[in-house]
Amino acid sequence: MPGGSTNPISMTGFVEKVSGTVHKAKAHMHDNAHDLAQVTKQREKDKLNGPCVDVTIQFINASGLPKLDVVGASDPYFVAKLDDRVSMVSTVKTRSLTPEWNETWRVKNVPTTSELRVEILDKDTDTPHDDYIGKFKTTIEAGEKELDIQGPLFRKDRGTFRLTIETKPSTDPAEPKYLFDGPIRYSRHFSPLVGKLTNIDDARLYSTWKMYLVDVPVYFKDVYQHWNVNYKAAQSIFGSGPTSLAIRAGIHAGHKMLYARSTSNGFGIIQSAEDIMKLFEGGSLDPKGILGSDREDLSQEEQSKLEEVDALAAPTNESPFAHRIKPAVYTYIISAQDDSLRFSETGAAFFVDFASKHALHADCAEQVRYSGEFHLRPRAKDNSWCGWQDFNDSMPDTSVDWEVLIDNNSGTYSPDKAMLPTLKGLIDCNFPGLDVLALDREDEGLKKSVDACRDYALNYRGVKAEHLQPHQQEGHKSLLKPLGVVGKVAHLQRGGVEPS
């Protein structure tokens, strides 16, 4: 009746009906979401079980790119991905709106229904993020293609991109899908510390290298090396407390700076053993005065050797060892994220801020494929001698053979020595013609070879003793300070433990 009271029984029934309807709707949505997930999962499974091809993509050039910087042209590069399963990052082309790349990317066992997506960006060294130019996508159908670059909303026309795609049926369907097949590209990254220091002895001490390897999943399969739970420095990094969180933040930021793509990077392709050997050439600009008068403490034999080196010194400021194999030990990891080999000299100055050299290279990853150290040593072509202790700089580098000794010397990840033969197989596969020995960190012959390498660097190449381990260079500016990570964090990271 009008003006009467509401029937509580009717109201209760109404609420129950509404509640039931909402419950049914939620259940229906949940079922639909579950069904969609199942369909998506089945489609992905069908795709991976379907026909596959080996793909070769030649990224040729772009034209008509917009000018994003107020001063100067763009510094474009691109990131290419196949189904978000494997990716490639190009070189940076400086000051160009019509960049020519001509870079090749080979991937094996790619499903025929896969999609290639490419983003083009403008490298900006003065900001934490690069400017976005645009993107495009295409199938992997073979042929030459000229594709429009689509920019952000209301800025769709961002130029065109030319590429060619070649495909052939995969010959080994048992191999992993989306398997990177070359070419082996590398980049050399210069630490942001360079140019901010005084008395820089050797820019190599402020550099990192990154090299993309082929067939890593073929050799290592599902084997990874987890961080060492019994290692104090690793515990401080990978723990669950606030201190560990702060330490990881510092390492992440440091890694990002050390491996950032920039216009100053060096880029190249490894096509032979000679190509990779060139990466290990270099020396200091006579920091010890070894080509000058500081020789009073040297023996007659040492002075005689150095007189031969004097004759090699050019009248310029270039080191006489700039094109000689450098006696040095390198710290490396093989990444579990992108199958890249990342390394630097073990004595690199930036390591002084961090508790773990290997964690810094690995971007604090909880697991890697492998890690350790390596060095090169000379060997007589007739095998009558082997090692730096028997070498003399009067011998041209080409007059001897060179061996690479690689090991598992990493406290952070403590790699299983049983995988050393696998490691050797992978290196042999990527660098045919290179003599490789994979040795356990406790091998006495390895220790003697490392000592001989360092002794030669000290006695005949002018390397300072402090450069053999992470050191505080005069004028050194911590990587952590510009990142907003306070000195206390660096102290907590080290915790009295040497980086490893």
Nearest C-alpha neighbor of 369 from the set 378, 361, 377, 380: 361
Q: Which pLDDT tens digit goes with each residue over 61-70? A: 999 999 876 6
| Chain segment 388-423, per-residue pLDDT in tens | 999 999 999 999 999 999 999 999 999 999 999 999
Q: Buried (b) or exposed (e) across 388-420, using 16+ Cβ within 10 A?
A: beebebeeeeeebebbbbbbbbbbbbbbebebb
The answer to whether the CB of 329 falls within 8 A of the CB of 346 is yes
% of the chain surpassing 90 pLDDT: 57
Least confident of 43-52, 156-165, 238-247, 310-319: 310-319
Q: Is there a contact between 63 and 103 (Cβ–Cβ < 8 Å)?
A: no
d(CA 170, CA 48): 13
Question: What does the pLDDT read at residue 257?
Answer: 84
Higher pLDDT, 367 or 462: 367
Model confidence over 352-388: pLDDT tens digits? Answer: 667 689 999 999 999 999 999 999 999 999 999 999 9
Rounded to a whole number of angstroms, the CA Rg of the chain reads: 28
Q: What angle do CA 472, 475, 481 make, to 5 degrees?
A: 80
CA distance 258 to 360: 9
- Residue 242 preceded by cis peptide, ω within 30: no
pTM: 0.80
Residue 324 contacts residue 283 (beta carbons within 8 Å)? yes
Look at residue 27 and tell me whether its pLDDT is greater than 90. no
Closest among 133, 138, 137 to 151, alpha carbons compared: 133
d(CA 439, CA 420): 7
pLDDT at 310: 46
pLDDT digits (tens, 9 = 90+) for 264-274: 788 999 999 99
Mean pLDDT for 30-53 is 66
Mean pLDDT score of the chain, rounded to an integer?
Answer: 82
| Model pLDDT, residue 380 | 97
pLDDT band of 3, cuts 50, 70, 90: low
**Residue 87 vs residue 348, higher pLDDT:** 87
Task: Name residue 62's beta-bridge partners.
Answer: 161
- For residue 401, give both structure tokens: 């053979």
Residue 136's nearest CA partner among 164, 113, 153, 160 is 160
Determine which of 73-82, 153-162, 390-399, 422-431 has the lowest per-residue pLDDT on average. 153-162
Q: Going by C-beta distance under 8 Å and a sequence separation of 6 or more, which residues neighbour residue 173? A: 52, 109
Percent of the chain with pLDDT over 70: 73
Q: Which residue has the higher pLDDT, 254 or 467?
A: 254
- 100 bridge partner residues: 61
The pLDDT of residue 307 is above 70: no
